[in-house]
C-alpha cells in the first residue's frame, strides 16, 4: 500500500514523479535539443553523484515513487552506475516503485546488464528515424548502428524498451507508418512527442519543425485501426492500441492538447535547480540549500515543499497564429525533458 502523498501542489495534484538530469552533456547534438556547438556547464556547477543521491533521497522521503534519470545523455556521466546502485536501495525498501531512464541508446550495449542489476526494468530510447542517413542529420553526431546495437543489448538483458519519437514536419513525417510497424514487430511501445519551443538553436525554426499530433494520428488512422485506452504509465502520454500489431502508441501533446491537468511531476537539473513546470521559467535553487546544510536535510525538505507550493497550473506553450509563444530560453538538455 502506498503512503499518503506528502507533496501536494496548489491544485491538489500529488507530486510523485521526479525527473532528474544528471548531466547536460551528450554524445549527440539533436537539432531540436542542442546547438551544434554547445557550451556546456563548468563541472564545478554540477551536482556530485553524492549530492544527487541526497537530493533524490529527500524527494523519496517526501513521497516521490517514480524516478526517471535523464540528461543530456545520462549514461555518458562518469561513474553514473554508482548513482543507479545508490538509488536501488530505495527500490529494495519499497519506497521507490520505479527507477528508469531516458537514453539515446548509444551506451546501452555497455550498461544494459548493470542497469537491470540495479533494478531498472524499462528504458525509453529516443529514436526519431529508422533511416541511417536521416539519423545522422537529426543527431548531427549520432551513429545509427550503435543505437540499434544498444537496443538489441537492452532487449537481451531483459529490459522493456519504449521508443520516443519527436514528430518533425518535413523530417520524419514520412516515416510514421514505418515506425509503428517496426515497433509492433519488436514488441516496443512507441510514443510520439510534439516538438517544444525550448532553447535558442540558431538555425532551427520551431514553427517549421512543428507537426501536430492530431494530424499525425489522422495520418496513422489511414492505415491502422487505433483504439483509445485508459492506460497510463505515470507520465503525460495518452495511449491507443493498434489492432493490427497489438502494440501501444502514446501521444505527448504539450501544444495540441495540453496535459497539465494531470501533471504529477517536477524536474531537477544537474545543477540542482528544481523546475516545477517544463514550460515555465520559475525554479528553486536546491543546490544552495544542499551545500549550506551538508548534514541537515530538514532545510532541504522545507525548500522542496516551498517550491511545490509554487507549482503552476500549466505551461504556456503555443504555436497558434504562425508564431511561437511561451518559449523557454533554456535548452532541453539542461532540464532533462
**Per-residue confidence (pLDDT) for residue 35, from 0 to 100:** 81
Instruction: Report the C-alpha gap between 69 and 115 in whole angstroms.
Output: 12
Task: Give the residue numbers of the binding site for GTP.
Answer: 19, 68, 102, 162, 265-267
Instruction: Report the C-alpha gap between 259 and 196 in whole angstroms.
Output: 14
- The whole-number average pLDDT for the span 108-127 is 98
**Per-residue confidence (pLDDT) for residue 333, from 0 to 100:** 52
Does residue 1 have a pLDDT over 70? no
**Per-residue confidence (pLDDT) for residue 256, from 0 to 100:** 47
Q: Helix or strand or coil: residue 197? A: coil
CA-based nearest residue to 172, from 201, 222, 138? 138
Task: Give the residue numbers of the binding site for [4Fe-4S] cluster.
Answer: 26, 30, 33, 260, 263, 277
Instruction: Report the C-alpha gap between 143 and 174 in whole angstroms.
Output: 21
Instruction: Report the C-alpha gap between 249 and 247 in whole angstroms.
Output: 7
**Per-residue confidence (pLDDT) for residue 337, from 0 to 100:** 53
Question: What residue spans define the domains of the chain?
Answer: 17-335
- The whole-number average pLDDT for the span 111-138 is 97
Does residue 321 have a pLDDT over 60? no
- The whole-number average pLDDT for the span 241-265 is 83
pLDDT band at 20 (very low <50, low <70, confident <90, very high): very high
Q: Helix or strand or coil: residue 207? A: helix
Task: Give the residue numbers of the binding site.
Answer: 19, 26, 30, 32-33, 68, 72, 102, 126, 162, 196, 260, 263, 265-267, 277
Q: What is the pLDDT of residues 171-212, one digit of tens each?
A: 999 999 999 999 999 999 999 999 866 444 444 455 577 889
Instruction: Report the C-alpha gap between 46 and 70 in whole angstroms.
Output: 14
Please tell me the least confidently modeled range out of 2-16, 72-86, 314-328: 314-328
Whether the CB-CB separation of 288 and 326 falls below 8 Å is answered with: no
Instruction: Report the C-alpha gap between 147 and 260 in whole angstroms.
Output: 32
CATH 3.40.50.920, applies to 17-335: no
pLDDT band at 145 (very low <50, low <70, confident <90, very high): very high
**Per-residue confidence (pLDDT) for residue 319, from 0 to 100:** 40
CA-based nearest residue to 333, from 127, 34, 125? 34
Does residue 87 have a pLDDT over 50? yes
**Per-residue confidence (pLDDT) for residue 198, from 0 to 100:** 46
Task: Give the residue numbers of the binding site for S-adenosyl-L-methionine.
Answer: 32, 72, 126, 196
User: Who's near 50: CB < 8 A, 6+ residues apart?
Assistant: none
pTM (predicted TM-score) = 0.88
Residues paired with 318 in a beta bridge: 325
- The whole-number average pLDDT for the span 308-322 is 68
The answer to whether the peptide bond before residue 72 is cis (omega within 30 degrees of 0) is: yes
Amino acid at each position: 500500500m502506498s503512503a499518503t502523498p506528502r507533496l501536494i501542489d496548489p491544485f491538489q495534484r500529488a507530486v510523485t514523479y521526479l525527473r532528474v538530469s544528471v548531466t547536460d552533456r551528450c554524445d549527440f547534438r539533436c537539432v531540436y535539443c542542442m546547438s551544434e556547438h554547445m557550451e556546456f556547464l563548468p563541472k564545478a556547477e554540477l551536482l556530485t553523484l553524492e549530492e544527487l543521491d541526497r537530493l533524490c533521497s529527500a524527494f523519496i522521503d517526501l513521497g516521490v515513487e517514480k524516478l526517471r534519470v535523464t540528461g543530456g545523455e545520462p549514461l555518458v556521466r562518469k561513474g553514473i552506475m554508482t548513482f543507479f546502485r545508490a538509488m536501488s536501495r530505495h527500490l529494495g525498501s519499497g519506497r521507490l516503485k520505479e527507477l528508469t531512464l531516458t537514453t539515446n541508446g548509444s551506451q546501452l550495449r555497455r550498461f544494459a546488464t548493470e542497469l537491470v542489476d540495479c533494478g531498472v526494468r524499462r528504458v525509453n530510447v529516443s529514436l526519431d528515424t529508422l533511416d541511417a542517413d536521416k539519423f545522422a542529420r537529426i543527431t548531427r553526431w549520432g551513429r545509427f548502428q550503435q543505437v540499434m546495437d544498444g537496443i538489441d543489448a537492452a532487449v537481451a538483458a531483459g529490459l522493456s524498451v519504449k521508443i520516443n519519437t519527436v514528430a518533425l514536419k518535413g523530417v520524419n513525417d514520412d516515416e510514421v507508418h514505418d515506425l509503428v510497424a517496426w515497433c509492433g514487430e519488436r514488441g516496443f511501445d512507441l510514443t510520439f512527442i510534439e516538438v517544444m519551443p525550448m532553447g535558442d538553436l540558431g538555425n532551427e525554426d520551431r514553427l517549421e519543425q512543428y507537426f501536430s499530433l492530431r494530424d499525425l494520428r489522422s495520418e496513422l488512422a489511414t492505415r491502422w485501426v487505433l483504439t483509445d485506452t485508459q492506460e497510463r504509465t505515470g507520465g503525460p502520454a495518452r495511449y491507443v492500441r493498434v489492432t493490427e500489431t497489438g502494440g501501444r502508441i502514446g501521444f505527448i501533446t504539450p501544444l495540441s492538447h495540453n496535459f497539465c491537468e494531470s501533471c504529477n511531476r517536477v524536474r531537477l537539473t544537474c545543477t540542482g535547480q528544481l523546475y516545477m513546470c517544463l514550460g515555465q521559467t520559475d525554479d528553486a535553487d536546491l543546490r544552495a540549500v544542499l551545500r549550506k546544510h551538508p548534514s541537515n536535510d530538514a532545510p532541504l525538505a522545507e525548500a522542496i515543499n516551498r517550491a511545490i507550493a509554487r507549482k503552476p497550473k500549466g505551461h504556456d506553450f503555443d504555436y497558434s497564429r504562425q508564431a511561437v509563444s511561451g518559449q523557454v530560453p533554456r535548452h532541453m538538455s539542461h532540464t532533462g525533458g
